[in-house]
Chains A and B, each alone.
Chain A
Amino acid sequence: MEKTVNIFLFGKKYEVPADLTIMTAMEYAGYQLKRGCGCRNGFCGACATIYRIAGKQELKMALACQTQVEDGMYIATMPFFPLVKQVYDIEKVTPDQMIMMQLYPEIYACVGCNACTKACPQGLNTMQYIAYAQRGDFKACADESFDCVMCGICSSRCPAGISHPQVAMLARRLNGKYLTPDAQHLLEKVRSIEAGEIEAAMQEMMNKSDEEIREAYNTRDIEK
């Protein structure tokens, strides 16, 4: 007999195999998921979930696809959270502190409770990246927030109403576009393609017979 645990989905009890995740346990219990299920691999942030273990005070936050069930788990899913996403023109913004003040001024109302960091299922230092955003250090904000899956759990715990994932998204785009040096070899290659300089080599390749191209493939040198 496989080991089972009792869990409570929205307060209702189900006995499920102990090695399931919260997501697969819901399916085992009979839920055909529509909301709250995306990549099933911890990348998309669709399955934000809140739970409490019976007899304990602490509310825990997790991704349902990444978290194994435990006995006495009281589970509520949070398949959508109303984050604030401000629109902007990436070509027209400038990567300085003003842009945060304009688009996400609520970050300056952070009370430093650190609830966002404690709740992050990716283990990110969320409050710290918001602090970086406040002072316009977008590179630090981008680095600290890079592994964010935008599940919105942090924001659900925030007394200041900050939409952390969207703040970080803006910081990363600013950093990627404006603050990181351009790849010169890339610009050069694009220029050469646009100037038609690769066309002869491409046509030569395209016009090879099947036999010639097989030979070229099988004998090509491979960079070490």
Chain B
Amino acid sequence: MYPEKFQESIRKVEALRAENAALEPVRMTAKEKEELLAAYHPDYREHEFENLKIGPNAGDKVPHELADMLQAHPRIHEGDVDLENPAYDVDVLIIGAGGAGCAAAIEADEAGANVLMATKLRAGDANTMMAEGGIQAADKENDSPAQHFLDAYGGGHFAAKKELVYKLVTEAPGDIKWLNELGVEFDKEEDGAMVTTHGGGTSRKRMHACKDYSGAEIMRTLRDEVLNRRIPILEFTAAIEIIKDDKGAAAGAVLLNMETDELFVVRSKTVILATGGAGRMHYQGFPTSNHYGATADGLVLGYRAGAKLLYADTLQYHPTGAAYPTQIFGALVTEKVRSLGAKLVNCDGEVFVHPLETRDVESAAIIRETGERGKGIDTGNGQAVWLDSPMIDLKNGEGTIEKRIPAMYRMFLKRGIDMRKEPILVYPTLHYQNGGLDINTDCMTGVENLYAAGEVVGGVHGRNRLMGNSLLDVVVFGRDAGRAAGQHTKDVTVGTLTLAHTAEYDKQISEAGIDTDLVSPKLLPNYVRERNTLTGPEIQ
């Protein structure tokens, strides 16, 4: 139940509900979309970006917050650790234990490699765990990988690396089968046919889901499989620097025990960065739907080692972050809510955008509606629009919400809002790092033997990712990276370990005149309140 201040607007939404539910809003033309994005999408706010001064992408623009981390000092230097006596000596070191990291570990293990995983939080503490809506794959009769290619490549504004999209869409059905054979419980009809829906920007219904716990179900299954294979995982252990050898290839990492601050060295024949995204960088002050550890660490580790970034200036703002109440501010409201028939409406109850345009277009439309057009709802904590969730049961029958999106239903019900009967308030939230490390079709970055997979990679999704292509990405490229890195170990002889590149990086920072006290990678966001330390707590 909403407070009185929202009731007048809610009554308008209710009055127009039946009419709005039946409406098929017009889709925007390509030109209208381009103009909308240029005027309202956060990626186009030039003052929020700066050009990098050093490193492989010197001259390219990235968000200020990322520039600060990419151009910060390393946490350690040669001499701080004993490179000659590594604590672990393995074939493949995987940094990150989310969807991509676990998929990579399974395949590297399958390839016969000796694998070690390290993650700064727990295995499965990852954006994969939080992906709600689903995973795309062209596996229905009216669909094809070529059609999936068209949607993904076009939705990414024709900027993706075609050879990576090729892998994404052609390996998708096989990877769905693989997941199913591992025991992932996809939503199915009685006869076993996959229940599939649309996502924003899809031309065929190819979104497979596991209710609205799609990512959680995939993540916990992959993690369980990693554990079954007895692949060792160092939890609460962050990578803070890639180690190279005297031939310039990646050859391990320096790890930090997050709880004891102990440092130790891993030597490995290949390294896979599967560190995920960057929502906790809070670019442009946006809230985020991401997990606690999403701080762009992999971009920093890779960049300092010499790997190039691609499209690091493009972020995805998910159009429907929860905007009210404050306890769930920024949390993801899955796109599936719109896939199932809910539409976005303004304070007067009017539909202002087709609900299944691509995410960047939806977000820009919301920002325009609440800004220039003045048709938003003031939540007391910023602007928002309504997502008219009761349309779902109206369209699909009672019980649909509880059955198909139980996590959403639970999240709002805990706050006293029954989304079956009342609309919910949403606003764009920082959701996904479209750009990242540039890789080839073997998932190798520009640094020899340094692989990358998952959200840390750029180029798979161009400048905008479609719903359901990130869960797919982590599985496809996680598996591919694990396989490639695992098989390649047979050809690798590690040379003498060195951290000389950290000193070289520091030198470049000073030569470029960058004045900074910051160190990176960031590892965790700081949400501790700034306190007045002059007055202590009241004595009881």
Contact = CB atoms under 8 A, between A and B. Distances in A.
B306 to A, nearest CB: 30
Nearest to A143: B185
B224 A217 contact: no
Contacts of A147: 211, 213, 406-407, 410
Nearest to B235: A80
Contact of B173 (A89, A146, A175, A193): A193
B42 to A, nearest CB: 21
Contacts of B7: none
Which residue of A30, A123, A176, A214 has the most chain B CB atoms within 10 A of its CB atom?
A176
Interface string B301-326: 00000000000000000000000011
B18 to A, nearest CB: 20
A44 B291 contact: yes
A90 B203 contact: no
Nearest to B153: A213
Given A33-B292, A46-B121, A180-B188, A90 B528 contact: no
B421 interface: no
A37 B292 contact: yes
Contacts of A182: 180, 192
Contact size range, A = 35 or more
B140 interface: yes
Interface stretch (B60-68, B73-81, B143-151, B446-454): B143-151
Interface in A178-195: 180-187, 189-190, 193-194
Contacts of B162: 206
Interface stretch (A70-78, A107-115, A166-174): A166-174
A34 B325 CA distance: 26
Contacts of B146: 198, 201-202, 204-205
Most buried by B among A41, A122, A147: A41
Given A41-B289, A172-B185, A183 B180 contact: yes
A150 B140 CA distance: 33
Interface in B196-223: 198, 203-205, 211, 213, 215-217, 220-221
A177 interface: yes
A184 B407 CA distance: 29
Interface stretch (A20-28, A128-136, A156-164): A20-28
B173 A186 contact: yes
Contacts of B150: 205, 213, 216-217, 220
A14 interface: yes
B184 A187 contact: no
Contact of B154 (A33, A35, A213): A213
Interface residues of B, number: 85
B204 A223 contact: yes
B475 to A, nearest CB: 14
Interface in A210-224: 210, 213-214, 216-218, 220-223
A117 B12 CA distance: 41
A14 B158 contact: no
B438 interface: no
B291 A38 contact: yes
A142 B192 contact: no
B495 interface: no
Contacts of A33: 292, 524, 527
Contact of A42 (B188, B224, B411, B537): B411
**Most A Cβ at <10 Å: residue of B183, B259, B406, B411:** B183
Contacts of B410: 42, 122-123, 147
Given A14-B537, A31-B528, A37-B292, A21 B327 contact: yes
B228 A90 contact: yes
A177 to B, nearest CB: 4
A1 interface: no
A10 interface: no
Contacts of B137: 186
A43 interface: yes
Nearest to A221: B203
B110 to A, nearest CB: 12
B124 interface: yes
B406 A44 contact: no
A181 to B, nearest CB: 3
B529 interface: yes
Q: Which of A28, A174, A204: most chain B CB closer than 10 A?
A: A28
B48 interface: no
A222 B292 contact: no
Nearest to A88: B228
B122 interface: yes
Interface in B232-265: 236, 258-259
A30 B203 contact: no
A57 interface: no
Contacts of A150: 220
A87 interface: yes
A223 B143 CA distance: 10
Contacts of A42: 407, 410-411
A125 interface: no
Given A33-B292, A38-B122, A183-B188, A177 B181 contact: yes
A163 B79 CA distance: 45
B121 to A, nearest CB: 6
A19 interface: yes
Interface string B322-336: 000111100110000
10 contacts: A20-B327, A35-B259, A38-B291, A39-B130, A42-B410, A46-B125, A87-B230, A90-B183, A172-B183, A177-B181
Interface of A: 13-14, 19-21, 24, 27-35, 37-44, 46, 66, 68, 85, 87-90, 122-123, 142, 146-147, 149-150, 169, 172-177, 180-187, 189-190, 193-194, 198, 201-202, 204-206, 210, 213-214, 216-218, 220-223
Q: Which 8 A-B pairs have the closest CB atoms?
A: A173-B183, A181-B192, A217-B154, A176-B185, A176-B183, A177-B183, A38-B125, A27-B527
